[in-house]
Amino acid sequence: MAFLPESIALEVVTPDRRVVEEAVEEVQVPGSQGYVGVLPGHAPLMSELGVGMLSYRKGINWFYLTAIRGFAEILGTRVTVLAERAERAEEIDVERARQAEARARERLAKIHDPEVDWERAQAALQRALVRVQVAAKAGGTLTVHHRPEV
């Protein structure tokens, strides 16, 4: 009879640093095609990362961080995330993220301006929104404001 492992070794690294290296019970990874939930014993999988919130559980506590592009290797006892950028919720400067969101929305509102790089503005908006979301999820008291679409 095969026994499933009780935890997963989670490692999240960027080109600059190791963001997380912990034994956890559950991980949710923002794949490029949607979120992937991982429990101990998960089948091997390689996934491209999108831009989103990576969350993991230790006991009854959940922890959150941003994960921006890269790759995730998922094995039965290990999840390795190689991200272009990642930051823990407590590292996020919420005011700066909100300012970045506002700038991106202003650029996207210039519908007829040929100088606007739409892909870059959309990517900036997506990064800012995930930072605000992660900070709000971890803090529980932060209010996330969204302007109506123009």
Q: What is the pLDDT along the chain (150 residues), one digit of tens a residue?
A: 566 778 999 999 999 999 999 999 999 999 999 999 999 999 999 999 999 999 999 999 999 999 999 999 999 899 999 999 999 999 998 889 999 889 888 888 877 777 777 788 788 888 999 999 999 887 643 333 333 333
Tokens describing residue 120: 């870059």
For position 119, which CATH number holds?
1.20.5
Residue 105 has a pLDDT of 87
Residue 79 has a pLDDT of 97
Domain boundaries, position 13: 8-89
The model's pTM is 0.80
| CB-CB neighbours of 117 under 10 Å | 10
- 60 and 122 both lie in a single domain: no
Q: What is the dihedral of CA 68, 89, 82, 127, to 10 degrees?
A: 10
For position 78, which CATH number holds?
2.60.15.10
- 76 and 129 both lie in a single domain: no
Question: Quick check: is 2 in a domain?
Answer: no
Residue 144 has a pLDDT of 38
What is each CA distance from 94 to 77, 84, 98, 108, in whole angstroms?
A: 34, 20, 6, 21
- What's the distance, CA 18 to chain centroid? 15
- 21 and 77 both lie in a single domain: yes
Question: Quick check: is 107 in a domain?
Answer: yes
- 69 and 97 both lie in a single domain: no
Residue 2 has a pLDDT of 60
Residue 110 has a pLDDT of 79
